[in-house]
Amino acid sequence: MRVQRIIMMGVLALLMPACYATQYGSPAFVNIINNGGLGRSATAESNNLLTGRACATSYLGYFAFGDASISAASRENGINKIASVSHTTEGVLGITAKYCTVVRGWQ
């Protein structure tokens, strides 16, 4: 009986965070499958904009790796003048969550 309680507490401890990937208060809470997007700001939109993407990935809600900042996304394609910023989230079963910042602009 005691072993079952210890195992159950361990499983609950692993599942409680459910894998958050946060930036600016926008959590990517994952129950089963998550694939969404969030626009933050925009000043212009045209066909000749460059796109930069920077992502951070979280595992089990305990470990996170990557840089999902606006500056990292703009450095990807050498964007100096930003036209729009948006965010995307992806996650599966609380095991992984990926939070990306997408920047569009000009060199």
Does any domain span residue 101?
A: yes
Q: What is the pLDDT of residue 42?
A: 62
Tell me, rounded to whole angstroms, the distance of Cα 14 from its chain centroid. 20
Does any domain span residue 8?
A: no
- Is residue 22 very low, low, confident or very high in pLDDT (cuts 50, 70, 90)? very low
Sign of the Cα pseudo-torsion (70, 74, 80, 85, in order) = negative
Does any domain span residue 12?
A: no
Does any domain span residue 1?
A: no
Q: What is the pLDDT of residue 53?
A: 93
**Is it the case that residue 5 has pLDDT exceeding 70?**
yes
Does any domain span residue 2?
A: no
- DSSP state letter for 23: S
- DSSP state letter for 27: -
| Residue 81, domain extent | 17-106
Does any domain span residue 7?
A: no
Helix or strand run (H / E) with residue 77:
none
pLDDT tens for each residue of 81-106: 888 888 888 877 767 888 889 998 98
pLDDT tens for each residue of 55-76: 988 887 777 888 888 889 999 8
Does any domain span residue 67?
A: yes
- Burial grade of 69 (CB within 10 A; 0-12, 13-18, 19 or more): middle
45 vs 95, which has greater pLDDT? 95
**Beta strand 50-59 pairing with 96-106:** antiparallel
Q: How many domains does the chain have?
A: 1
